[in-house]
Amino acid sequence: MTEGADAIGNKGSLSVVIVGGGIAGISAARHLIKNGIQQVKILEAMNRLGGRILTVNGEAGKIDFGAQYIHGGDENPLYQMAVKHDLIDRSSKTTKGSGTSSFYGNEFYKENGSRIPKEIVRDVNEFLESVHEECNGIEENTNCHESMGHCFERRFEEYLGSRDDTEEDVDIKKGLFDWRIRWEIHDNGCRSLFDVASPARYQNYNGSYFTEVKNGFQSVLSILLRDIPSECIRTETPVTKIDWESSGICNDRIGSKQCMIETKHGEYIYCDYVIVTVPLGFLQSNTEKLFQPPLPSRKKAAILRSGFGNLVKVFLTWTTPFWDKSFEGIQFVWTSNKDVIDKQPASILTKKNGDPWYRDFDGFHVLRDNPSTLLGWIGGEGGCLSECLAEGEILETCYLLLKKFAPDMNIPKPCKMQRSQWQSLEYIRGSYSYVSIYSEPNDFEELTKPLPSKQNPVLLFAGEAMSYHHYSTTHGAYESGIDAANLVLQNATQFLNI
Ligand SMILES: Cc1cc2nc3c(=O)[nH]c(=O)nc-3n(C[C@H](O)[C@H](O)[C@H](O)COP(=O)(O)OP(=O)(O)OC[C@H]3O[C@@H](n4cnc5c(N)ncnc54)[C@H](O)[C@@H]3O)c2cc1C
C-alpha cells in the first residue's frame, strides 16, 4: 500500500461509526485515525468513556470499580504502554500463573476464627493451581464438554485419595477447595464453574498476572485518548438501531454510506462501516432489537450460547488501618455447610441452594495505593444478589464476616463502603465473557465474523468477548479493536485501489 496524499485524501472521505466507548472502541478509533481515516465517530451510551474501566475517588485514594490489573508483562501491549509512560511501579511484587500465589501472604481463617497453617494453604493451592492450568488453554479444543467445575472436582478427589490426611486436615482442605472454587468463579466471571468449558482458550502472556497501574486503570485509557480528537467522541448517545444494509450491497459501495445508525435521540447517522463494541451481555439482551436486517441465526445462536457473568468488588475503608505493614489480607474458609454470620441483618437473600448470598465472598485484601482500604471480591450468584442490596446492609454484613473469621484482629467497623454494580448497568449487564459449556465448536468464528462477509465487512464486531485467547481482559479488548480497524483499513484499501 502506498500512502500518498491522494490515498489519504480518499481514505479521509470514508466514515466509520464505532458503537461503544470502552477500550475496544477507543483502540479501534485510534488505530483508524492514525492510519488516515478522518471521519471516525465513537458513540457511547453512558455519560463517560471507558466502559468497564472506571477509576473513581475512594475515601483514601483512587479505586477501580472495573479493570485494575494488567495481566502479563512485555508481550502485553498495555503493559508496554504503561511502562513507557511510567505508570508501573517496577518494585511491586510479581505473581505468576493465575495469580493466586499472591494470596499466600493473606491469612486464611476458618469460620470459627482459627487461622489455617500456611503450609496447608500452600499445598492445596499449588495443587489446584496445576488444575487451573490444565483447565486453561492447554488444548485448542472448544468442543470439549467437560466443565471446569467437573474437572476441579474430579482432580481434587484424586488428590485427597492419594494422601493419608487426618479427618481434621481433610475438612480444612475441603474448605480450601471451596475457597478456590469461589475464587475461580470470580476470576472467570461466571455464575457457576459448571458453566465454564474446560479446557478454555485463555492464554496468559508471560510476566506477572497482577500489575497495578499508578493512579488507576483510567491512566492507561487517558494515554490512548490523547490521539483521538474530541469531535470524534459523543457520550450520552445510545445507539438503538444499526441498519447495515440500508442501500443494498454493491461492489462500489464506498461513499454510498450504506449503514444507517439510529440513536435514542432520534438522530440518523450514515457511514461506510460500523464497529460494534458493546459488551456481550448487552448484545445477548438486544440482538433482536439492535440490527436491521436481523443477524443471521447462526450468529445469534453463538451470541446467546456464549458465557457472560458477573463479578462485584466491595471496597471497605477505615479512618485508620487496623492492620500493620505485614498484613496482606483475610480470606474466608468455610468448613461447615450450615454456619452463618452471628447477627444476621434483617433480610437475608439466599442463593438457589439456600446459602446466604455473602457465602460467595472470597475475602478482603490490601490495595497498593490505598492505605486504609481493603478490597473484597464476590462473584457468582451471591455477587449478583448483592447488587440489589442497600449499601448499609453490605457494609454491616462485611463487618460481621470479618469479625467472625478474624476475631483476634479486633476489627473496628469500616467508615465507608463502595461497590461495583456492573450487572445492573443497562449498557453493560455484567463483568466479562467466558467460554461456556453450551458453546458449539464454530461459535467463536460465528461470533466474530463481520457481515455480510469477511471479504466485504460492513458490520464488524470488537470487544473483549471477541478475543480468542485474551477474552475477559482489557488487552484482549484493545487488540480486538485494532483487529477490527485493520479489517476496515484492508477493505478500504482494496476498494479504493490504493
Ligand atoms: C469487576 C471487573 C474487574 C475487571 N478486572 C480486570 C483486570 O484487572 N484486568 C483486565 O485486563 N480486565 C479486567 N476486567 C475486564 C475489562 O474491564 C474488560 O474486558 C474491558 O474493559 C472491556 O472493554 P470493551 O471495550 O470490550 O467493553 P466495555 O468497556 O464494556 O465498553 C463497551 C461500551 O459500549 C457501551 N454501549 C453499550 N451499549 C451501547 C449502545 N447501545 N450504544 C452506545 N454505546 C453502548 C457501554 O456503555 C460501554 O461503555 C474487569 C472487569 C470487571 C467488570
CATH code of 178's domain: 3.90.660.10
Q: Is 209 helix (H, G, I), strand (E, B) or coil?
A: coil
Query: What is the CB neighbour count within 10 angstroms for residue 58?
Result: 21
Q: Show which of 424, 453, 488 is a domain's final residue.
A: 424
- Give the CATH number, domain containing residue 276: 3.50.50.60
Report whether residue 233 contacts ligand 1, using a CB cutoff of 6 Å. no
CA of 53 to the centre of ligand 1 (A): 6
Query: What is the CB neighbour count within 10 angstroms for residue 483?
Result: 19
The pLDDT, as a whole number, for residue 99 is: 65
CA 450, distance to chain mean position in Å, is: 23
Beta bridge partners of 311: 379
CA of 472 to the centre of ligand 1 (A): 9
The pLDDT, as a whole number, for residue 252 is: 45
Q: Are residues 339 and 420 in the same domain?
A: yes
Q: By 3-state DSSP, what share of the chain in percent is helix, strand and coil, each rounded to 5?
A: 35, 20, 45
The pLDDT, as a whole number, for residue 92 is: 63
Question: Exposed (0-12), middle (13-18) or buried (19+): which is 497, by Cβ within 10 Å?
Answer: exposed
Q: Are residues 275 and 358 in the same domain?
A: no
Alpha carbon distance 125, 108 (integer Å): 12
CA of 51 to the centre of ligand 1 (A): 4
Containing structural domain, residue 295? 5-53+217-307+439-496
Q: Show which of 372, 399, 424 is a domain's final residue.
A: 424
Alpha carbon distance 198, 152 (integer Å): 10
In the chain, which stretches have pLDDT less than 50?
A: 1-9, 139, 141-143, 248-253
Q: Show which of 366, 389, 424 is a domain's final residue.
A: 424
Q: Are residues 322 and 418 in the same domain?
A: yes
The pLDDT, as a whole number, for residue 89 is: 80
Is residue 158 included in any domain, yes or no? yes
Is residue 74 included in any domain, yes or no? no
Is residue 429 included in any domain, yes or no? no
| Cα–Cα nearest to 421, from 315, 346, 270 | 315
Q: Are residues 141 and 246 in the same domain?
A: no
The pLDDT, as a whole number, for residue 96 is: 62
Alpha carbon distance 315, 205 (integer Å): 28
Q: Are residues 288 and 187 in the same domain?
A: no
The pLDDT, as a whole number, for residue 337 is: 72
Q: Are residues 170 and 221 in the same domain?
A: no
Report whether residue 242 contacts ligand 1, using a CB cutoff of 6 Å. no
Report whether residue 71 contacts ligand 1, using a CB cutoff of 6 Å. yes
Report whether residue 379 contacts ligand 1, using a CB cutoff of 6 Å. no
Of all protein residues, whose CA lies closest to atom 21 belonging to ligand 1?
Answer: 52
The pLDDT, as a whole number, for residue 142 is: 43
DSSP 216-259: -THHHHHHHHTTS-GGGEE-S--EEEEETTTT---TT-TTS--E
The pLDDT, as a whole number, for residue 495 is: 73
| Cα–Cα nearest to 64, from 51, 81, 45 | 51
How many domains are there within the chain? 2
| Cα–Cα nearest to 241, from 300, 302, 294 | 294
